[in-house]
Structures are given as structure tokens and as C-alpha cells.
Amino acid sequence: MMNDKNEIAVLMAAGMGTRMRPLTEKVPKPLVKVHGTPMIETVIRGLHQRGIKKIYIVTGYLRSHFEDIASKYDDIVLVENKEYETINNISSIHAVLPYIGDEDCFICEADLFVSDENIFCCDLKQSCYFGKMVEGYSDDWVFDQDESGRIIRVGKHGKDQYNMCGIAYFQKEDMHTLADAIVEAYEGSGFEDFFWDDIVNQQLDKINLTVHPVDEKQIVEIDSVAELEAVDPEYRKYN
């Protein structure tokens, strides 16, 4: 699906990936390969399927390792997050604020294995989180919705709800709202432990945000060696 929209994407790739050691001692987590391809590259390929015009990769830990992938694609810009060791992932969006706000924008985790590149090729009418339905209790990030489907809470813990899967899409007006909220948070105190999604949760009265359902087979967020092994048996030797 190539489109004529002026859309951009932000890939958050600054974290240290401590739960995937020893693999991440010398390689940033998003560059760990699944079936021979770095995880971040499966996201990039999906975004290219949609026709995204510019991709900003926010780096921090072992940031020089991303230079090869940036040189491979002429639409990638590397943005350094100098605060990744002391401030939660709100710092990654703060680092990229000078580059966003004028276009509709995908914000994605970079440690995703996208098995279906067409996951991005959908007609998105409004801002949304991509979500996977999980039956029963989940202690992960979930979305509470009202009867119309509008998200009324983004937070942890829920039952029989859509779970966050690492991809969000914001129309430019909503991206402006969130950018302003991040700037305001940085002007105060106590923001250091904020996840980026905490800021979204605080702005839900200003943003009409919904869930775009996806199948669990289309995308996997990999947080540990065990989860990596479940997708790619090549990593059994690390368990």
C-alpha cells in the first residue's frame, strides 16, 4: 500500500535491553536478528510497504551500531537520546520532538518482530493503538474502552482486553497535543519514571483514540531470550 500522505515514523531504539542479556551486551536489542533479519528492519520494511516518507530512529545504548542500517536506507535519520540511562522512554519522544508534529506519525517500539509486513497497510481514519486481544487476565499494558470503542485508559493490568503491541498512530493534531504535554512534563518534576504511554493516558480527554485490532501472529514484541527462542529456535543455546 503506497500512499500519498506525508506520514513519518519514530522508532524507539534507545534502551539497553537488559532482559535479553547476554545477547545485548554487544548488540542493541533492536538489532538482534530473528530468522536472519534484525528486528528493527522488519518494522522498517513494514513501514516502507505503507509508503512512509521519513523514519526517525531514536538511539542511545550502543548507538553507533545503528549507523549501518541508517546508511542502508536513505529515508532514515538517527536521533540521539542522551538521557536514556536516567529517564524512562518519555525521553526518546522528547529527543525527537524537533522533528515531529507537522505530519501524521507512527510511533513504534523497535524491538518488534513483524512477520506480516502488510500490518501497516491499513486505512487509518483516526489516531489509534494497534492492539492484540488477550483472553483472560493480562499484567501487560491494556486499553480500557467505552461503549463506542474510545480508549479511556492506557495502563497495566486487565482482563479480556486489547493489549498493547508496540505500534501507535497519531494524526498530526493529536501529535501536537502530546508533544506539548511532554514539554510541560519536562518543565515540572517527577517525570523521569514516565513511560511515553503515561503521557498519552493523561491526554485521553483531548484525543479520540481507538484500537486497531491486529492478529497475534502478525507481530511479536520480544522482551527476553525465552520469547526470542519461541520465535526463532536458533537461540535455544542461550537457555
Domain ranges of the chain: 8-130+165-201+215-238
Class of domain 8-130+165-201+215-238 as given by CATH = alpha beta
CB burial of residue 122 (10 Å; 0-12, 13-18, 19+): middle
What single DSSP character describes residue 87? S
Task: Check residue 47 and give left, alpha or beta (phi > 0: left; psi -120 to 50: alpha).
Answer: alpha
pTM over 0.95: no
pLDDT tens string 137-190: 998 999 999 999 999 999 999 999 999 999 999 999 999 999 999 999 998 888
pLDDT tens string 1-47: 555 678 999 999 999 888 888 888 899 999 999 999 999 999 999 99
